[in-house]
Chains A and B, each alone.
Chain A
Amino acid sequence: DTEVTQTPKHLVMGMTNKKSLKCEQHMGHRAMYWYKQKAKKPPELMFVYSYEKLSINESVPSRFSPECPNSSLLNLHLHALQPEDSALYLCASSQDERNEKLFFGSGTQLSVL
């Protein structure tokens, strides 16, 4: 199984809503990542979890809150987002943080109204 599964595929939310994005992998990978991608731009790293601990936070605003409940799951909790946060949110995993052959999920297309 070489899949990274993300849910939901699409999400529309208002600026006062609270929602969560979910990501799951069963490849035994110990590093998991959240990326944000705007149209016609490369993915931008948001967070890295290594062995279930947050190892990189790329100065992401606190309205984005990551959580890694176990080695297979990664969540991104969203609260009080702005319209400019509308983007494709991609989850990825790799064997570990130094062996970074990345496998990406299909993403969640988020629209903030």
Chain B
Amino acid sequence: GIQVEQSPPDLILQEGANSTLRCNFSDSVNNLQWFHQNPWGQLINLFYIPSGTKQNGRLSATTVATERYSLLYISSSQTTDSGVYFCAVQPNQAGTALIFGKGTTLSVSS
């Protein structure tokens, strides 16, 4: 089956720093999504981004489907950005649901 690899596994930042999280996938996909899970367990859908670039405030994401990777950029990080960031892909085969990567754990300190 399709493999989803996220890097780095852990990231520690000072408030105000910028960061880039990466998601590589091993086969073509129908869609790709980025999620943030806060320390209380709530999963928030950040981006639905099968290709191209999207921006939402301090966050932006780029997916290059032909090269099988996606990047999540966080600028001017804040302590509330702490948590786990998951990339999830849906393979092209019918009847398959989202497959999650193992996540990147981000800690932002003030």
Contact = CB atoms under 8 A, between A and B. Distances in A.
B100 to A, nearest CB: 4
Interface of B: 30-31, 33, 35, 40-45, 48, 86, 88, 90, 95, 97-98, 100-103
A69 interface: no
Interface in A74-113: 88, 90, 92, 97-98, 100-104, 106-107, 109
B26 to A, nearest CB: 16
B42 A101 contact: no
A48 interface: yes
A106 B41 contact: yes
Nearest to B99: A45
Q: Is the interface of B mostly helix, strand, loop or mixed?
A: strand
The main secondary structure of chain A at its interface with chain B is strand
Band of interface residues on A? 20 to 34
A101 B97 contact: no
A56 interface: yes
A107 B45 contact: no
B45 A104 contact: yes
Contacts of B86: 42-43
Nearest to A37: B41
Contacts of A48: 97
Contact of A42 (B45, B48, B97, B103): B103
